[in-house]
Structure 1
Amino acid sequence: MNSFQITFYEDRNFGGRSYECSSDCGDLSSYLSHCYSCRVHSGCFMLYDRPNYMGNQYFVKRGEYPDCMSMGMSDWFRSCRMIPMYRGSYRMRIYDRENFGGQMMEMTDDCDSFMDRYRWSNCMSCHAMDGHWLMYEQPHYRGRMRYFWPGEYRSFDCMKFMSMRRIMDSWY
């Protein structure tokens, strides 16, 4: 079995036609007319409600997801991206202003609330130096999320983040 494998289903509760995937897929409608449920056999994936890795993001790890609506999606899965396993150190600089402005904190672990830890109302830019991260709009890992891999992120398209966690190899 590949280290990344997910099966998408046209209907809820794993019904209808299926499509098995072991890589990134920019447009699931090339294989299925719609996609309402999935099973992750191995690896971790980010699912998107629009083609070409756009729109809202939904993180899934090994397990069953019988109904995309129960995950908070307003529509069906349209694209997916594999999240590579990472076993190194984790390091990210977060800023309370866009374009790396304002106060900066260097993170090496999870933070369930920027307000509780730093008295920040939100994070508005970041530089992910090592590791793969999920950032959430609300404290305690709730609300909409975004996936960050090593790189610079000067702005978050009107989103503000209040908590973050590392994507750990134990999730695979």
Structure 2
Amino acid sequence: MSVHQQATAPTYGTDTRIVTMGRVIFYEDRNFQGRSYECSGDCSDMFSYLSRCHSCRVESGCWMVYDRPNYMGNQYFMRRGEYADYMSMWGYNNCIRSCRMIPMHRGSYRMRVYERENFMGQMMEMSDDCDSFMDRYQWSNGCMSCHVFDGHWLMYEHPHYRGRMWYFGPGEYRSFRDWGGMRFMSMRRIMDSWY
């Protein structure tokens, strides 16, 4: 039995953000078994469609999925592909409770990263990936605040794109304290070739 959600993708005012229709199919059980829910846009609470979610197929687009409703909790990035048992892949016990489609970005990428909260300390302007803030800038505590001007980015708690990750779209992020005191040690761009 399938549940379908028809959602309109958000529109954006700049030429560099390309709206694409994403499509992901979530399944109650591992290996694409059980009831399914097809999603083409943001969903703040999947409980009304599925009682649990343990596998999915991303047919198009890039997505952030969350283990709590309302885009809260641990975040995971998904792009086109099959995720037959993502719980063991990511090493956690919860199931997906909400999801958000990441709009495609074409154009330049630009972000300012700071070694301290509230845009304090040393600042670096980034336009490409950084596999280690410690190696590149000698920031032993990593990045503690940032301002994203262009593009969509993933930041990781460990060097070399490992550990928990967070999605950053355009905007100011003065402190990561609200996210459990996270500090980010590496970052990468979400590229249009991933779609």
- TM-score scaled by structure 2? 0.86
Identity rate, percent: 76
Shift of 1:41: 0.2
Residue of structure 2 in register with 1:53 after alignment: 71
Distance 2:85 2:73 in 1: 18
**Cα distance in 2, alignment partners of residues 124 and 59 from structure 1:** 21
What value does the CA root-mean-square deviation take over the aligned residues?
A: 0.9
Aligned residue among 100, 117, 128 for 2:148: 128
Helix, strand or coil at the partner of 1:17: strand
Partner deviation per Cα, 1:110-150 (whole Å, 9 max, x = no partner): 00000111111210000001000000000000000000000
Off by >3 Å, runs of 4+ in structure 1: none
Within 5 Å, give how 1:10-159 maps onto structure 2: 10-69=28-87, 70-121=89-140, 122-156=142-176, 157=178, 158-159=181-182
Contact 1:68–1:77 (CA<8 Å) still a contact in 2? no
Query: Structure 2 stretches of 5 or more lacking a match?
Result: 1-19
SS at the partner of 1:46? strand
8 Å Cα contact 1:49-1:73 kept in structure 2 = no
Measured in 2, the distance between the counterparts of 1:6 and 1:72 equals 21
Contact 1:42–1:62 under 8 Å retained in 2 = yes
Q: Give the Cα–Cα distance (whole angstroms) in 2 for the partners of residues 67 and 78 of structure 1.
A: 15
What's the CA shift for 1:67?
Answer: 1.1
Q: Deviations over 1:28-67 (max 9, x none)?
A: 1110010000000000000000000000100000000011
Query: Is the contact made by 1:115 and 1:162 (CA closer than 8 Å) also made in structure 2?
Result: yes
1:74 positional shift: 2.5
Displacement of 1:3 after TM fit? 2.7
